[in-house]
Amino acid sequence: MERYAPMSSSLPKQSRRTRWSLLAPLAAVLAVACGAQQNPPSGGPATKFVFAPRVGGEFTHQMKHLDEVTVPGSNFRDSQEWSAVWKVKVEDGGDKYLYRRRLAEFSVTLNGQKLLNGQEIEPKKAEIVQVMSKDGRVLDVTGAETLTEALASLVPESERARVKQEFAPERLRAMLAARAVDSFDEVVGKPAEVGSTWKAESKFGPLKGKTVVVDSAVGCGGRQCRKLTRVFDIDQEMVNDVVRQRVATFLQQKGWKPSAARVADSNMKVEDVFVVEPATCHFHDANLNEEGFVVLKDPAGASLKIVMTSKAESHADYPAP
């Protein structure tokens, strides 16, 4: 789902927008960008979401992600967990902003097997630079090739090809660009007053944004933030198709013909919440949770329940104001 495709050795590789969450991005878990609008002078309440990042200094961005498909009562498990810690600096590049993201920690666990513990990446000083326009648009993402090679060099040789594919430069660039673009499209120039709501435009695989709501005003590191929630419509048929792909090898091992399996029941729920400063569009927290199940039946009447879970968490720590 992602907004990331899990590393699965038994299934065809899927693009990040065709997994079952088809992890709904990474929506607010990397760079959150807003539109360049004018708010009241400092000290007054923000009336719109504005792209005005604080230049200089360094902040820490922590990310955690879980994507898992299981079949209760069996040993089938297609699971990937990863966590990352970025050290981020924002620089003024004249007609643009440069977000320099150095990967300080990165851990990966595949089906319970730990491939990276976290600290191995720090000596590599691997950095991605996200280039943003003054009005909050992604112009470029550089350095992805170096980061991919750094990650691959740290895992056992038997896993390098898979890591290079799952964390390929084009996927890293798409991830960063998508998160910024998703948030830009959703909040640019939108009202920051609590209770405001508008039509969502985002679409991530089977998830189509329906509405965004400014839920409440909250404190965040000595600053004022807004908690926003996003409601999705779900294309359940697309979810069902992806589930069949994720468990295709398992079905064949049970003697099923995957193409003949029909969906007897299914359900999926999504929760998407993020916390952002209206005056700058610096994000503080984001949580995207997806949970669901699909029940398949073969022509003989045998049934199988597949459970899906995807969780993406993100948190940023900024210097005190």
The strand ranges marked E within 148-282 are: 197-199, 203-204, 207-220, 223-234, 262-276
Is 75 part of any domain?
yes
- Return the higher-pLDDT residue of 34 and 243: 243
- Cβ proximity of 266 and 236 under 8 Å: yes
In a domain, 93, yes or no: yes
**DSSP calls for 278-315:** TTT--EEEEEEEEEEEEEEE-TTS-EEEEEEEEEEEEE
CA distances in angstroms from 284 to 186, 228, 240, 278, listed in the order given: 17, 12, 34, 11
Task: Specify which of 42-46, 159-163, 220-224 reaches the highest per-range mean pLDDT.
Answer: 220-224
CATH of the domain at 257: 2.30.230
**Could you give the CA distance from residue 319 to residue 321 in angstroms, rounded to a whole number?**
6
Does residue 85 belong to any structural domain of this protein? yes
**Lowest model confidence (mean pLDDT) among 140-154, 157-171, 213-227:** 157-171
- Tell me if 252 sits within 8 A of 296, measured CB to CB: no
Predicted confidence at residue 205, as pLDDT, reads: 74
Q: Do 84 and 108 meet the contact criterion of CB atoms below 8 Å apart? A: no
Number of domains in the chain: 1
Q: Apex CA 306: angle with CA 251 and CA 27, to 5°?
A: 120
* Spatial CA neighbour of 314 closest among 44, 64, 52, 8: 64
pLDDT at res. 181? 55
* Count of residues making up the chain: 321
- CB 51, CB 298: distance < 8 Å: no
Among the listed ranges 27-36, 56-65, 172-181, 241-250, which one has the minimum average pLDDT value? 27-36
Of 11-15, 87-91, 210-214, least confident by mean pLDDT is 11-15
d(CA 157, CA 256) in angstroms, rounded, equals 34
- Whether 270 maps to a domain, the answer reads yes
Q: Has residue 4 been placed in a domain?
A: no
Residue 288 has pLDDT above 60, yes or no: yes
Confirm whether 19 is domain-assigned. Answer: no
Which residue range is the domain that position 243 belongs to? 59-317
d(CA 315, CA 83): 12
Give ∠ CA 223-226-230 in degrees, rounded to 5.
150
Max alpha carbon distance in the chain (Å)? 70
Q: How far apart are CA 195 and CA 158, in angstroms?
A: 52
Residue 235 included in any domain: yes
Place 17 in a pLDDT band, splitting at 50, 70 and 90: very low
What six digits make up the tokens of 178?
A: 């998508």
As given in the structure block, the two tokens for residue 165 are 């594919």
Contact yes or no for 284/276 (Cβ under 8 A)? yes
The answer to whether residue 88 sits within a structural domain is yes
Q: Is 139 in contact with 36 (CB distance < 8 Å)? A: no
Q: Which of 172, 178, 187 is nearest to 27 (CA)?
A: 178
- Cβ-contact 63, 30 below 8 angstroms: yes
What is the per-residue pLDDT across 35-69, written as a single tens digit (0 to 9) for each? 444 444 444 566 899 888 999 989 999 999 999 99
